[in-house]
Structure 1
Amino acid sequence: GIVTNILNISILQRHGMDDSMNVVLVALAVSDMAYSISETVYRIGLIATNVDFSLGYNILSVYYVIFLNLSSCAIVISTWLVSVISFERMIAVSFPFHSSRIITPHRIKCLVISLYIIFISMYGPLFCGWYLDWSFHPSYNLTLLRDIKFDWFKVNPGWVIFISNHVIPAIATPIPIVIILSCTSMTVLRLSGRVKAFEALSTSSAKRVKEMRSIKISLVICLCLAFSILLPNACLDACLALNDQLLSYTLIAFIRAFTQLAVQVNASMNFFIYVALSSKFSKIFLNVIRCT
């Protein structure tokens, strides 16, 4: 995930930021890379506990204070960026003659920056709720790096818990999944009526062919995110909201682990989607490899 998203950022920047789709894809690569880094720190901590318990414990403490909320924030941002992609492609397909006036690179940049600011601000209190400090752990008879709550969080944690347990889950999954599925469905229905027309295009219509490739890339990204991540998360959240005792702790842990793996795979696979469906992307990638 880290390597492929670094490649995504470098190659898409060579494409240029004048294309609104490239702006969103670069922002998506940044959030996916942030999640990949967080998961890497977590896995390193788990592995380190089998070698040196104190080292692994310290790494996991750093993860829970810094990287846990970073990974959650990155997932939400990535989900909303995919929603932007699905909406942008729907506009491009449904209103091809007006899309360039409706969707401009400047507006997309403002939207992407706004999404980052909004969700980072929402997760801000969670980042500031704990701090790291060395303290003696009597259970292990060791001095370890522990995550400790700030006094303000101990006294009045209600509004922070309300944001983390109710506000963020409400906007993290249901709204994006409705946008992605509805926009993607409209795009597919719109394209299905134009397949024969595109098959009859001559070689002089290369621009239309490139647009079709771009649409295919965005559709694959949207569908992968929707069916591998959003739907399982939505089902799990619905079950937990209806009845906390409906699922056993082991099953919940298994589903959470599966979801983490699905998110990591999704964060890593966009590079291969770009290479497979975009000839321009693959050519620039080959040029970068040759130069290095």
Structure 2
Amino acid sequence: MDFRQLRQFVVLATELNYRKAAERLNMTQPPLSIAIKRLEADLGVQLFERDRLGVRLTMAGGVFLGEARHLLDGAQAALQVTRDAAQGRIGSLRVCSVPSAALALLPQLLFRFAAQFPSVRLRLSSGSSVSILGELQRGELDAAFLVPPASRVPGIEWMPMPRQSLLLAVPTSHPVATRRTVTLAELGDETLVALAHSDSPGFAGEIMALCQREGFYPKALQESSHALITLPLIAAGLGVAIVPEALCRIAMDHVAYVRLTDSSGQPLTYAMALAIQTQGVNPAVRWFVDTAREVLAETPGEEHGPNSSAVARPD
């Protein structure tokens, strides 16, 4: 007995007419009759009563009809699940993000992705750009949001995201805390608390380049290993910090945020990118990248990254 015989039986049991059943099955009546008789022989029971009035199900045939439909539905479900798994529509997706993207870019993307692919289980984590890249290269992650380094990274492809705005975080007692805007050049004499270059070389490099462009080197640089750890240092009055705008969503006592511009009044920004493995094997990554493209199309912004082109769609 196979699934083809089961389907032939179900169609005949539904139509109770060999000619109509054969037409639905795209076959002729004699092979259908032979197949049904073979099925009855395999089961050792009579499924149909046949007389000059037509075809009727026996009691055993009625019971078998319910079971046959259940088996066919189960087989179809198993086939669909298998196809969905191969296409990345079910399974899991490991995504990591630097804190600033977790507060801004990631929620919008995940909301869209979860709605479109509810059977993909998301496993989220956070870390520094350096640690995230290492995990991605080792195959411990499927996709990540991070500040891209200045140079290419072997085995990693990038999708540049809109550049993110920067703010100045200061103690509430600081003279500029009540101002709406401050220029970067005004920070030449300030102690700058920044992310450690060893943890986020891309972000630290951009801050250093911005300061140099404004004609100064940061004074008495203090470092933190995590963007969120920067805020307690500011609250303690240990300096000021150039931070991602997303951090202003975190209310912290004794910390104020001020808009930051260059000497021409232009807002300061930094790069953000979605990174995936070049040879990644998780098919769900394709849908995650497509969803990111959809979100990008609805989010105007300047795109920058290690390469000028967007990440290639994984197959």
TM over 0.5: no
> TM-score when scaled to structure 1?
0.22
Give the structure-2-normalised TM-score.
Answer: 0.21
More helix by share: 1
Structure having the higher Rg: 2
